[in-house]
Structure 1
Amino acid sequence: MIKDTSAQDVSVKPTTNYKKPLIIVLTLLLFIVLCSQVFIAQTSASVSVELKRVNTATVIIDTLIRDVAASGKIVAANAPQVYSPERGFVDLKVKAGDKVQLGDVIATLESPELTNELKQQQSVLQRLHGEQQRKHLEARRQTLSLSKTLDMAQVELNAADRENRRAQLSIEKNLISQIDLEKAVDELARAKLTFKHAQQEALLAKDTLAFELQAAQSDVNRQQLVVDDLTRKVNNLSIQASVTGIVGNLLVQEKSAVIQSQALMTLVDLSNFEAQLQVPESYANELGLGMQVELKLGARTVMGVLSAISPEVNNREVTTRVRFDEPLDNIRQNQRLTARIILDNRDDVLMIKRGAFMQQGGTVAYKVTGDTATRIPISIGATSINAVEILQGVAPGDELIISSYSEFKQADTILLR
């Protein structure tokens, strides 16, 4: 019988390896924790949004510059229109784009009616001058006649006075009778009365002649005013440039018939420009003269002040004018520009960058905490082009979503992936 190998076998105690099961257990526990976190997050957040699809900003305390954006163009501050002074036929001396100097003749009018009326009134003035001269001669003649009458009365008075004195001497010597003496006295009284009346008639005649001459002079002066006015109108038929610049555009054709006060052309003063801005109607009540305006002309940024505000609204916009702080070169009429009207400055304001979240009315916002965003109520104050003042609901350093909330469906919590 063959013996087994039991005598050759050696008893060995089994060794236990705990490393592998421990690794497996830890792996399972970590997986369970991760799954639970994902489950909890998914259960608390009803909407999930990719982080790269939203814009966030941090709430800060800084100076808020309230402003309003506007667009406009460069316009000439002085661009007068030229009007026809009378009715007639226009003869244009310039073309659109021509340069003109102050006082240059830019158009003439042919008005036969006005020219003929001037000649008629000049003829009337000459006739009145002739009548005035004739009245002067007549006054001299009447003055001479009155002087003659007064001198004759003086001579008769002197003669009557001598006769009276002779009669007085004669009555003393009894050479004449009492009746002759009384006759001499009556002749002296009659001569004195005649001389007195002659003096009064001479004074009255002089006043009358002076009045008639004054009336004639008044007629001449009145007619002279008529002639001067017509002469002025005829001289104005040569229309002169009121500014130094260029002819903007012609409003009538050559040799066309025009009426009084009809616009003929526009002149542009190239030495004085302003900016004309169109501001939204909602900001009309906040605008004020003298406000600072920042304008961008291409790559240049210049400053100006609000100089005029239109009292009416057209197409839901208000037209304003801005005067530059200093003269500018290399700018042209109707050149487009953008502007920022500075309404006011507020220091130490809790604010955040402006974004599309303002479409919700500025009453709610989403505050970012880790990988979630929570819907919170807020209250906003002043706004500007780039920033928004937040009155309550947040604290400095908070991070908010400032992009549109249209995809959030008003969810209370958003998961940011």
Structure 2
Amino acid sequence: MIKDTSAQDVAVESKPNIKKIAGIILVSLLFIFFVVKALVSGASVSHSFERSSMQIAQVEMGDLVRDIVSNGRIVAANAPQIYSPEQGFVSLKVKAGDEVSLGQVVATVDSPELANQLKQETSEMERLKGELARQELDARSQTLQLTKLLDIAQVDLEAAQRENRRAHASMKSNLISQIDFEKAVDDLARAELTQRHAKEEVSIAKERLAFELASAKSTVSRQALVLEELKRKINDLNILATVKGVVGNLIVQQRALVKKNDALMTLVDLSAYEVELNVAESYANDLGIGMQAEINIAGTTFLGKLSAISPEVKNRQVTARVRFDQQQLNGIRQNQQVSARVLLESKKNVMKVRRGSFMQSGGFYAFKVEGGIATKVDIQLGAISMREVEILSGLTAGDEIIISNYDEYSKADAFLLN
């Protein structure tokens, strides 16, 4: 009988198969490689780029303030120019940089034409006054003559009335003839007619004389207005300061011949300042009166509002004025350089990403980063600020995109990141 081999069996302790493990790892790496290769092939990846050469930002939710950053300078809010009121020779009473007070005489204009015209008009005024006095005397004289005629007509009427009464009494007693009686009646009728016409003539003559006197007085009054205007013009030849401040610059020389409305000098009101900003033409349509602005002056930020926007574009820039509170500001100077930030719009809880050079491609697409692959996706941008840009569609919060320039890989649909 043959015995089994159990006596010959020896228990052997199992050891890991290194070759087998290595094979499994190799197979796994090959699998990952082929998966990545398949993904890359599916995404039409043909290039790879260094991640370190790119800027990557994360899409997030938050508030977005649309703004414009601009440089500007401090200017006087009120800097009026002084003009010559008439033609003549100007005498300047101040120099550039001199302090002036409100109402101070800063220049005078010597106008020989106005002085001569004032003399002529004064003489004409005296003549018109004499003419008015003469007409008043003539009116009194004519009124007296007409009154005399009226009084004589009244006396003749009363005499004719007495004769008529006497004729009637005599006719009853047959003391006078019929012819004498009729003559007395005719004389009374003639006297009544003469008295009535004299009264009407006196009335008309008085109205005519009153009209002539009124016309003469109106001429004198008009001449008085002419004299008053001339005196005002001569008084305005002493040119007064319209603000309290300093003389900015002189536009004419001493004793220069100037024409009417020629600019003489500029005054600067140092009690009120504004900021004059130069904004790029592309933002001109976004600006509006009353928009808030942050002004940085000597390291301190002040809040202000747009008070004026120029309708004219110069050197592809639009000039805007910002008015701000100056009560707590000291040491401010004319033409001092400042920086400002105009707040165009504020949006709450929007999807946004840091602004970058990727917008130069038009802002219609972005490269979304997932793992080691960057894939082109279509996006839609909204409000744009100096620091951030709103994402309307194409991405979700938490996504990462490349925000640097796309010139090197703009034609690729996807690429690897090393």
**TM-score higher than 0.5 here?**
yes
SS at match of 1:192: helix
1:340 aligns with 2:341: yes
Q: Does 1:150 align with 2:150?
A: yes
User: CA, structure 1 residues 371+185, in 2 after alignment: closer, same or farther (shift >3 Å)?
Assistant: same
Q: Following the alignment from structure 2 to structure 1, what is the Cα–Cα distance between the partners of residues 31 and 334?
A: 69
CA distance in 2, matches of 1:249, 1:33: 85
SS of residue in 2 equivalent to 1:89: strand
Q: C-alpha offsets along residues 253-289 of structure 1, whole Å, 9 cap, x if unaligned? A: 1111101111111112222222222222222222222
Q: Distance in 2 between matches of 1:184 and 1:410?
A: 135
Provide closer, same or farther for how the CA distance between residues 358 and 222 of structure 1 changes in structure 2, counting only shifts above 3 A: same
Offset at residue 357 of structure 1 (A): 2.2
Report 1:6-21 matches (<5 A): none
- Aligned CA RMSD, in angstroms, stands at 3.0
Deviates more, 1:126-135 or 1:321-330: 321-330
Alpha-carbon offset, residue 26 of structure 1: 8.0
1:136 Cα deviation from its structure 2 partner: 0.4
Q: 1:146 to 1:38 in 2, by over 3 A?
A: same
Task: Please show how residues 374-393 of structure 1 align to structure 2 within 5 Å.
Answer: 374-393=375-394
Give deviations 1:167-190, integer Å, cap 9, x for gaps.
Answer: 222222333322222222222222
Alpha-carbon distance in 1 for matches of 2:296, 2:287: 20
Q: Matches of 1:78 and 1:395 in 2, distance apart?
A: 51
TM-aligned CA deviation for residue 302 of structure 1: 1.5
| Aligned-partner SS, 2:117 | helix
Partners of 1:203 and 1:72 lie apart in 2 by 80
Give the counterpart letter for 1:195 in structure 2. Q
Preserved contact between residue 114 and residue 234 of structure 1 (Cα < 8 Å):
yes
Task: Name the structure 2 match of 1:49.
Answer: 50
Deviations 1:325-344 (A, max 9, x none): 56563322222222222222
Deviates more, 1:176-185 or 1:94-103: 176-185
CA distance in 2, matches of 1:332, 1:157: 96
Counterpart mapping for 1:56-95 below 5 A: 56-95=56-95
Aligned to 2:7: none
Kindly tell me: are residues 326 and 95 of structure 1, through their superposed partners in 2, closer, same or farther at Cα, counting changes over 3 Å? Answer: closer
Match of 2:205 in 1: 205
Q: Give the counterpart letter for 2:367 in structure 1.
A: Y
Q: Distance in 2 between matches of 1:298 and 1:407?
A: 42
Q: Does the CA-based 8 Å contact 1:55-1:403 persist in structure 2?
A: yes
Q: Is the 8 A contact 1:102 1:244 kept in 2?
A: yes
Counterparts of 2:188 and 2:47 in 1: how far apart (Å)? Answer: 142
Offset of 1:28 from its aligned partner? 11
Equivalent residue, structure 2, for 1:394: 395
| Residue aligning to 1:264 | 264
Of stretches 35-44 and 195-204 in structure 1, the one that deviates more from structure 2 is 35-44
Q: Which amino acid aligns with 2:182?
A: E
- Cα deviation for residue 370 of structure 1 reads 4.3
Partner deviation per Cα, 1:7-45 (whole Å, 9 max, x = no partner): xxxxxxxxxxx99x9889989998999999899989977
Identity over aligned pairs, percent: 54
Q: C-alpha separation between the residues in 1 aligned to 2:60 and 2:191? A: 120
Which string of whole-angstrom CA distances, capped at 9 and with x for unpartnered residues, describes residues 307-353 of structure 1?
22222222222222222256563322222222222222222211111
C-alpha separation between the residues in 2 aligned to 1:274 and 1:252? 27
Cα distance in structure 2, aligned partners of 1:39 and 1:406: 30
Kept in 2: contact 1:68–1:343 (CA 8 A): yes
Question: Secondary structure of 2:363's match?
Answer: coil
User: What is the SS of the residue equivalent to 1:159?
Assistant: helix
Alpha-carbon distance in structure 2 between the residues aligned to 1:163 and 1:394 = 130
5 Å-filtered alignment, 1:8-407, equals 46-49=47-50, 51=52, 53-324=53-324, 327=327, 329-330=329-330, 331-370=332-371, 373-407=374-408
Q: In the TM superposition, what is the alpha-carbon distance from 1:123 to its structure 2 partner?
A: 0.5
How far 1:297 moved relative to its partner?
1.7
Q: What SS does the aligned partner of 1:243 have?
A: coil
Cα deviation per residue 1:43-63 (whole Å; 9 max; x = unaligned)?
A: 977334262x43322110111
- Aligned partner of residue 266 in structure 1, secondary structure: strand
**C-alpha contact (below 8 Å) 1:357/1:403 kept by paired residues:** yes
SS at 1:394 equivalent: coil
Measured in 2, the distance between the counterparts of 1:37 and 1:228 equals: 104
For 1:393 and 1:204, the matched residues in 2 are separated by 100
Change (3 A) 1:177 1:379: closer
Alpha-carbon distance in 2 for matches of 1:183, 1:218? 52
TM-score normalized with structure 1 length: 0.85
Return 5+ residue gaps in structure 2 as ranges.
1-13
Displacement, 1:414?
A: 5.3
- Report if the CA contact (8 A) 1:64-1:387 is conserved: yes
Bigger mean CA deviation after superposition, 311-320 or 407-416: 407-416
Provide closer, same or farther for how the CA distance between residues 179 and 363 of structure 1 changes in structure 2, counting only shifts above 3 A.
Answer: closer
C-alpha distance in 2 between matches for 1:313 and 1:238: 38
User: Are residues 180 and 375 of structure 1, via their aligned partners in 2, closer, same or farther at CA, if it must alter by over 3 Å?
Assistant: closer
CA distance in 2, matches of 1:71, 1:296: 10
Given that 1:62 and 1:348 are in contact with CA atoms closer than 8 Å, whether structure 2 keeps it comes out as: yes
Q: Displacement of 1:303 after TM fit?
A: 1.6
Q: 1:98 to 1:326 in 2, by over 3 A?
A: closer
Q: What is residue 15 of structure 1 aligned with on the other side?
A: none
**Which residue identity does 1:47 align to in structure 2?**
S
Stretch of structure 1 that moved more, 325-334 or 295-304: 325-334
- Give 2:154's aligned amino acid: Q
Segment drifting more, 162-171 vs 139-148:
162-171
- TM superposition shift of 1:79: 1.5
Distance (Å, rounded) in 1 between the aligned partners of 2:240 and 2:408: 67
Q: Distance in 2 between matches of 1:274 and 1:30?
A: 73
